[in-house]
């Protein structure tokens, strides 16, 4: 009797594993933000570029690994951080990478405000190399975390002593806007690196930014009048410099709920000044409402920053961080419907015997769990150490390219699978990125009635552990006839399917 019961249970388990996950790919679910034109994938440069940009070898390697579409991830959006620059007598930042220099300083004898165009050479070195690697698809955004320290209330570019109070001095809004526009103009016209958009503040309506912060620059700016004032003055400054085509974004708030509140509190003049909403998804409260607001306002929308040390999968080992990232990408895009998705930093840790400015680096990465970033820079060996999280990111970035139209593909909540689709009309191709966060193989069945599939299907997969697993392993599959496509997903894997198609 026990043996019979075991056989029955085994049969039930096997049947449940064999059941296909059914997914419909329909143009009815196309994301139409920015006219259905995907603008791309990206990363902020700031800290990691500031840390490694002194090293020509690391700069070159990073440009190819992260921004070249043939050799690396093919990221095309690079967010350049315009540093405020802190009081030179301060020494409170303890990270080796986040002490980003400003472009303006006070002349010691006269107190005159002067520009130093060589102050941020390291980050600019990486920006040049990244833009070259990305080629015609390169999109440069300039963003600010804080004004220079001498434009702040506290005299510190890390924030106010009361972290929930404004830290831009009341008399300095115009000067700060001028600073942003001046540097934007210099990078565009003097360095030949076209800045396409500007974000003058970062997560401003929070209490994240205390003076003497050990970590980074930051600046609280109240919602409503204060944020409106900065946006209007920045727009006016950009126009004075002839930068009429530069897009001005909203406040890059930490979560959609806060961003919605801040947009609603902007003055009519400030709302007329912005050309795009940018939001982070460290929190996801009101994320669908944020997407709907962008639709109602008929304005473009980016997910402009996020990362984390989360994990996903079942006994996934070194795939766990990558599976979390894949789930985050798909869930953000399905709910928010942005036209771009930007990782905070592709490199978040460094290895160096000497450290930097007397500070110690935090590497190496502990890849068996969750971690920020996708790679670690070894300054002693001039190497960039990659991870499965890096390769998972590439399952999206290498195959869903700018100009594509993304398509939401709902799956059953407990299926263990998630899917994101994209139609590239120029290449006449359909891309399906699929996750399996379970320990079992999964059969997945696609209904593609809107498309006529032509020729064989390319399968690209990342799975397993870094040393002996798969990284962008490609095989060619036979085409499945008709309007159904059937594939098998390995346990704890991310698989991309690319096929030629026509829209019916």
Q: What is the DSSP-derived secondary structure letter of residue 211? A: T
Tokens linked to 57 = 């070898």
Distance from chain centroid for Cα 444:
28
Closest CA to 40 of 77, 66, 6: 77
The label of the residue with tokens 């303890």 reads: 94
Tokens linked to 43 = 């990363």
Measured CA to CA, the distance from residue 59 to residue 491 in angstroms comes to: 36
Per-residue pLDDT, 478: 75
Asked if 247 contacts 188 with a C-beta cutoff of 8 angstroms, the reply is no
Closest CA to 322 of 282, 284, 283, 375: 375
Distance from chain centroid for Cα 235:
25
Asked if 115 contacts 185 with a C-beta cutoff of 8 angstroms, the reply is no
Per-residue pLDDT, 1: 45
Widest Cα–Cα separation across the chain: 95
Per-residue pLDDT, 8: 39
For helices 225-240 and 256-265, the axis angle rounded to 10 degrees is: 80
Asked if 81 contacts 97 with a C-beta cutoff of 8 angstroms, the reply is no
* pLDDT tens track, the chain, 504 positions: 444 444 334 434 444 444 789 999 999 999 999 999 999 999 999 999 999 999 999 999 999 999 999 999 999 999 999 999 999 999 999 999 999 999 999 999 999 999 999 999 999 999 999 999 999 999 999 999 999 999 999 999 999 999 999 999 999 999 999 999 999 999 999 999 999 999 999 999 999 999 999 999 999 999 999 999 999 999 999 999 999 999 999 999 999 999 999 999 999 999 999 999 999 999 999 999 999 999 999 999 999 999 999 999 999 999 999 999 999 999 999 999 999 999 999 999 999 999 988 899 988 999 999 999 999 999 999 999 999 999 999 999 999 999 999 999 999 989 999 999 999 999 999 999 999 999 999 999 999 999 999 889 999 999 999 999 999 999 988 766 667 899 999 999 999 999 999 998
Number of H helices and E strands in the chain, helices first, is 11, 22
Measured CA to CA, the distance from residue 494 to residue 323 in angstroms comes to: 7
Beta strand 484-489 with 300-306 is: unpaired
What domains appear along the chain, each with residue ranges and CATH number? Answer: 18-29+406-503 (2.60.40.1180), 40-306 (3.20.20.80)
Spatial neighbors of 358 by CB under 8 A, at least 6 apart, are none
Measured CA to CA, the distance from residue 171 to residue 169 in angstroms comes to: 5
Three-class SS string for 147-201?
Answer: CCHHHECCCCCCCECCCCCCCECCCCHHHHHHHHHHHHHHHHHHCCCCEEEEECC
Per-residue pLDDT, 4: 44
455 cis-preceded (ω within 30 degrees of 0): no
Strand partners for 424: 429
Spatial neighbors of 296 by CB under 8 A, at least 6 apart, are none
Backbone angles phi, psi at 380, to 5 degrees: -80, -30
Task: Count CB-CB contacts under 10 A for residue 14.
Answer: 10
């Amino acid at each position: 009797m026990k043996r019979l019961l075991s056989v029955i249970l085994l049969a039930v388990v096997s049947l449940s594993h064999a059941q296909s996950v059914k997914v419909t790919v329909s143009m009815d679910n196309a994301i139409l933000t920015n006219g259905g034109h995907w603008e791309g994938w990206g990363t902020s440069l700031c800290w990691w570029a500031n840390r490694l940009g002194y090293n020509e070898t690391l700069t070159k390697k990073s440009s190819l690994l992260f921004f070249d579409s043939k050799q690396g991830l093919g990221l095309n959006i690079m967010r350049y951080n315009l540093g405020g620059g802190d009081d030179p007598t301060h020494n409170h930042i303890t990270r080796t990478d986040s002490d980003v220099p400003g472009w303006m300083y006070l002349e010691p004898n006269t107190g005159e405000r002067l520009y130093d165009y060589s102050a941020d050479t390291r980050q600019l070195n990486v920006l040049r190399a990244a833009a070259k690697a990305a080629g015609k698809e390169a999109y440069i955004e300039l963003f600010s975390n804080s004004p220079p320290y001498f434009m702040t209330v506290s005299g510190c570019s890390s924030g106010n002593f009361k972290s929930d109070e404004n830290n831009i001095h009341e008399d300095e809004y115009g000067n700060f806007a001028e600073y942003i526009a001046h540097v934007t103009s210099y990078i565009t016209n003097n360095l030949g690196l076209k800045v396409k958009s500007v974000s003058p503040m970062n997560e401003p309506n929070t209490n994240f930014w205390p003076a003497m912060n050990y970590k980074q620059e930051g600046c609280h700016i109240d919602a409503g009048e204060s944020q409106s004032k900065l946006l209007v003055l920045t727009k006016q400054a950009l126009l004075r410099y002839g930068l009429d085509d530069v897009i001005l974004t909203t406040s890059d708030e930490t979560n959609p709920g806060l961003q919605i509140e801040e947009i609603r509190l902007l003055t009519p003049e400030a709302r007329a000044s912005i050309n795009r909403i940018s939001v982070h998804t460290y929190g996801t409260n009101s994320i669908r409402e944020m997407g709907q607001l962008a639709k109602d306002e008929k304005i473009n929308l980016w997910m402009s920053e996020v990362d984390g040390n989360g994990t996903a999968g079942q006994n996934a080992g070194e795939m766990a961080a990558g599976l979390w990232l894949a789930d985050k990408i798909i869930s953000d895009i399905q709910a928010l419907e942005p036209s771009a998705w930007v990782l905070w930093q592709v490199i978040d840790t460094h290895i160096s015997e000497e450290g930097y400015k007397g500070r110690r680096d935090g590497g190496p990465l502990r890849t068996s769990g969750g971690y920020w970033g996708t790679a670690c820079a070894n300054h002693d060996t001039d190497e960039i150490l990659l991870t499965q999280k890096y390769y998972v990111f590439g399952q999206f970035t290498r195959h869903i390219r700018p100009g594509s139209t993304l398509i939401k593909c709902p799956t059953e909540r407990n299926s263990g699978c998630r899917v994101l689709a994209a139609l590239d009309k120029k290449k006449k191709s359909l891309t399906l990125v699929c996750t399996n966060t379970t320990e079992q193989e999964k059969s997945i069945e696609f209904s593609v009635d809107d498309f006529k599939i032509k020729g064989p299907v390319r399968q690209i997969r990342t799975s397993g552990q870094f040393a002996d697993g798969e990284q962008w392993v490609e095989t060619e599959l036979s085409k499945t006839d008709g309007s159904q496509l059937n594939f098998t997903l390995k346990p704890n894997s991310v698989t991309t399917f690319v096929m030629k198609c026509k829209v019916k």
